[in-house]
Structure 1
């Protein structure tokens, strides 16, 4: 019985660690790095928050494609051969969106760590 408990603990720890590890092929950048990336016109910037969240505060270079529509909308609105930089409020939804984009065949996907929460702390270039 004691072994079962250890196995369950190990499984829980593995699942928690796996949840927060980056996915192969998805780059993670800080908000400081994002500031430089915004100058690159060859990149596509996607905010996966809800439309209400997006309207409250946004970075002007980003277009809003909510997470719940990314699988349907991405192929119509984004070019697969260009890098896609995704952001959300905290970095969790954008990580999910990045995984979806990889599955759809987007080869160059970047997630912004900390999302808009980190951006607000780092910069004031927010359009309201």
Structure 2
């Protein structure tokens, strides 16, 4: 009834705690941004291509970008498709965990 009770986002610390479970992480930044530094194991699907994404299985996925704006858009789109997607608030700009591919 109230969207307040329907949690659709998590912060970077919450995502870090889930890394041992090998979660599906999708980085919706452009390829060059992704190559400059990303969470190990994340898949790069730019926001412009996210509508073609389909999930195999029924597990949550975590969507990240640089600041949280593009990932919020992607999360809304994927949720409309019935995918259990969660936006990572603050994006890579607030990520304090391991980064692969470069420095942020």
TM-score (norm 2): 0.85
Structure 1 unaligned blocks of 5 or more: 1-21
Q: Which residue number in structure 1 is paired with residue 59 of structure 2?
A: 82
More helix, by proportion: 1
Question: How many pairs were matched up?
Answer: 99
CA RMSD of aligned residues (A): 1.8
Task: Give the match's secondary structure for 1:110.
Answer: strand
The 5 A counterparts of 1:1-128 are 25=6, 27-41=8-22, 43-72=23-52, 74-75=53-54, 78-79=55-56, 81-106=58-83, 108-119=84-95, 122-123=96-97, 125-128=98-101
Structure 2 unaligned blocks of 5 or more: none
Larger RCO, structures 1/2 (Cα 8 Å, 6+ apart):
2
TM-score (norm 1): 0.70
